[in-house]
Every structure is written in C-alpha cells, then in structure tokens.
Amino acid sequence: MKLHILGCYAATPRTFTNPTAQVLEIKNHLFLIDCGEGTQVQLRKHKIKFSRIQHIFISHLHGDHFFGLPGLISTFRLLGRKTALHIYGPKGIKEAVTLLLKLGDSWTNYPLIFHELTTKLPELVFEDEKVTVNTIPLDHRVYTNGFLFREKPADRKLNIEVVKKYNIDTCYYQNIKSGKDIVLDNGVLVPNHKLTLDPPKPKSYAFCSDTAYMPDMVPQIKEVDVLYHESTFLESEQHMAPKTKHATAKEAASIAKAANVGVLILGHYSTRYASIELFKEEAMEVFERVELADDGKSFDFH
C-alpha cells in the first residue's frame, strides 16, 4: 500500500502548496481521492499514469476538493481515453461536471459513470475481489464523506516444503491456499494449518477530510493501519474549529488514539502557519505515531 500526497493544504492554491488530492495504490488499483485545482499537473509532475486511474472519490463539493475534476476529465478525453471512469461523490457532482461539458461541447468519448452519494450512514460504494471502499460520514459545512479502503484477506501461503513432504499433487494447491484440509491417499487427514503459512495482514486506510472533531467515527476506523485526518488549526486557533467545521492537530490525534490506529497522517493545514512541524508537535502530545503530509510526499506501508 502506497500513498502519494499531491496536495494537502486548505483553501486556496499557492505557488508552493496545493489543495487536497492524493493517490492511494492498493492491490494494483490507483484510487484518486479528492481533486483540487492543479491535480493533473501534480499527477504529471510525480509521473503517475493517468490511464491507471479508473476510480475517483470526492469527499465534498467545496472547490479546494473538486475544482480540478472537470479539467482532469477533459484531459482524459484529449488523451484518447477509452476505458470507463467512475466518480463517487455527493449528489450534485454529476450536474456540476456535466454542465461544464455541455456548455463547452466537450462530452467525453469514454464512459463517465457517476455514483452520487446521499446517505449519512456508512455505505459500501466499491468492491471487487481484492478491495472494499466504504464511506465515513463526516461533520462539515456541507454533506461530506471520508473513505475507508480495506484489502480483502489474501489466500494462505503454501508451506511448500511440508506440502512436498506429503507428496501432494499440484492440482490440490489452490484448494490448500483457500484453506481446505487435505486427505492423503492412505486416508490420513492433514489439517490446513500444517500445510500453509498465514498471509500478510490485510491493510487499511481511512481518509477523513474535511471534518469537525467527530468521535462518532472511531468505531468505524478502529485499528486501521493508516488514518489521514485533517488538522486545519493549531490549539491557538481552536476557537475557529467548531464554527468552520474543521479540526485541530490535537483533536485529530485524539481520534487516532481512541481508534488505536497504526499511523496518523496530518493534513489540510491552514496556510496561516509558518511551519507544519508545529502540527506534529501538538499532535504528538496526545498520540506518538504521527506523520506529516506534504505536497509531493509519498508513504510506503509494507
């Protein structure tokens, strides 16, 4: 699992910072999460292949999270894209995007499929044989969701030395990896745990931006490997958090601690502060395993 931060600052783009967008690599998927202005430039800059993006998840309809989407959709058309593009986001996103395409007479020459979201309860929005994606309802000024990405458990691994010791035919290997016991020709049953090794623990990633402090999310994100949580403010501006429906670094750390997550990544910083290191310092007073997102930074989770 690898996370590429394309942009992680709040509100307006600057010459040296970008609004929210990130790419999650998980089980051969490249999921684009939010698409602020400049996203396609950042994708090019960091050599992420446009053609591998088949699913885009938009948290909410504030400009710093989706104004880059119409441009990216148009660029896909200019690049001759043929494969379908799926977009998951709040109700209204289809109208906003298709109006621009209509007025510009620039309909896509590839299937553009919108999955509009309305429920305020967690909802499964994507599933294949390897990954699930659920919404995480958040508390912001407009309808907003985070997204929870989970790998499905992999097959068990063959303990090939033991399998060969029992002289088991290769035609049974897939059954063994699927967890089945084996009966030998002499009638002896060999339990699966003797023939296999545990697969790697499935990884999980929770994206939570933008939101006010929201302890209600804790049960859903309990023990995820990685939590990205907005930290727009420091404690000195905590009074601004409730009215703007944003969170502080300490509040993000409190969520991480309550959920016992593996790693907390902070982001969505207000540009009023001189250094983002201040966010890490405040968060670590509550929770030790803290990383800072920054534009162009990547995280590998093995």
Which pTM was predicted? 0.93
Instruction: List the chain domain ranges.
Output: 2-154+200-300, 157-197
State residue 156's pLDDT score. 87
pLDDT tens per residue, range 41-92 = 999 999 999 999 999 999 999 999 999 999 999 999 999 999 999 999 999 9
Q: Would you say 115 is a known binding-site residue?
A: no
Q: Would you say 239 is a known binding-site residue?
A: no
Mean pLDDT (the chain) is 96
Q: Would you say 65 is a known binding-site residue?
A: yes
Q: Would you say 55 is a known binding-site residue?
A: no
State residue 284's pLDDT score. 98
Question: Which residues are within 8 A (CB) of 137 and not within 5 positions of it... i.e. 6 or more apart?
Answer: 119, 120, 121, 122, 144, 145, 146, 217
Query: How far does the chain reach from its first CA to its final CA, in angstroms?
Result: 7
64 is catalytic: yes
Q: How far apart are CA 228 and CA 299, in angstroms?
A: 12
DSSP state of 153: P
- Please determine, for residue 302, whether its predicted confidence score (pLDDT) is greater than 90: no
Q: Would you say 62 is a known binding-site residue?
A: yes
Q: How far apart are CA 210 and CA 276, in angstroms?
A: 18
Pairing of strands 298-300, 85-90: unpaired
Taking residues 146-169, what's their average pLDDT?
Answer: 93
CA torsion sign for 157, 161, 163, 168 is: positive
Q: Which CATH class is domain 2-154+200-300?
A: alpha beta
Taking residues 180-184, what's their average pLDDT?
Answer: 93
Q: How far apart are CA 36 and CA 6, in angstroms?
A: 9
Q: Could you say which of 34, 64, 181, 185 is catalytic?
A: 64
Return the percentage of the chain with pLDDT > 90, whole number. Answer: 94
Q: How far apart are CA 79 and CA 102, in angstroms?
A: 19
